[in-house]
Amino acid sequence: MMTTRDAASGMLVSRCMAIVGTENGIDLVFHTNTATGKSDELNNDPHVNISFLRDSVSIISSIGHLWSSYSGRAADFTGQDWASISGIAQVIQDTEEVKKHYSLTLKAWVGDLGDGVHDGSVKDPRLGVIKVRALTATYAIAHAASITRTLEVAKGAVTGNVASVNTLREITLKDIELWRRSKELVT
C-alpha cells in the first residue's frame, strides 16, 4: 500500500500499488497514471509510507538483508511478516524511465481513450513512474508457526503479559544511507 496526503483535506489516502523495480535494494519504483489525484498529492507533499504484508516477500527480504548486514543477525521469515517504509516520492515522466519500466499490462490500468494518444502504450503522456527514496523502515518478523503465535496470544490474555508474536526491527536513515553507499561501491 502507498499512503499519501490529500492536499485539500489533509487526510491520508492509501491505495494498492505494484512495485515495478527497486534501486539500491531499498528504494522503490512504481508505475503511475499522472492524470490521477495521486500525482497532485505527491507534488504537494512528497512524504509517503509504503507498507507490505508477507506476500511481498522480496522487498521484506531486501529489508531483512539490510538489517542483517548491520546487526550481524539473520532475518528469518516465517509468515505473518510485514514491512513499512517511510520515504520521499518523486513523480517522473521522463520517456526513458517510462520505457525502462513499461509493461503491456499498464493499458489495463490506464485504459485507451480512443484518441490515438492516450492509449496505454509506452508513448501515452499519462504514464510515469513514482520513485520512492526510503528514509526509514520498520519490519516485523513473526515468531514460529501460527499455532505457537495463537498460544502466545492466549497466554497473554490470561496472564496480562504482552504477547510476543513477532520481533520488530527498525532501520534508520543512517543505516539506509550506509547501505546505499555500499551498493554504489559494488556497482
Exposure string of 119-150, with b = 16+ CB inside 10 Å and e = fewer, is bbeeebebbbbbbbbbbbbebbbbbeeeeebe
Please write the tens of the pLDDT for every residue from 16-32: 998 999 998 889 999 99
Res 144: pLDDT:
64
Residues 6+ apart with CB under 8 A from 38: 2, 4, 13, 15, 32, 130
Residues 6+ apart with CB under 8 A from 79: 54, 142, 145, 146
Are the C-beta atoms of residues 128 and 93 closer than 8 Å to each other?
yes
Residues 6+ apart with CB under 8 A from 49: 2, 3, 84, 85, 86, 87
User: How does residue 77 score in pLDDT terms, banded at 50, 70 and 90?
Assistant: very low
User: How does residue 66 score in pLDDT terms, banded at 50, 70 and 90?
Assistant: low
> Is the predicted pLDDT of residue 60 greater than 90, yes or no?
no
| Average pLDDT for 49-65 | 66
For residues 62, 63, 68, 71, the Cα torsion angle rounded to the nearest 10 degrees is 160
Domains in the chain (CATH in brackets) are: 2-186 (2.30.110.10)
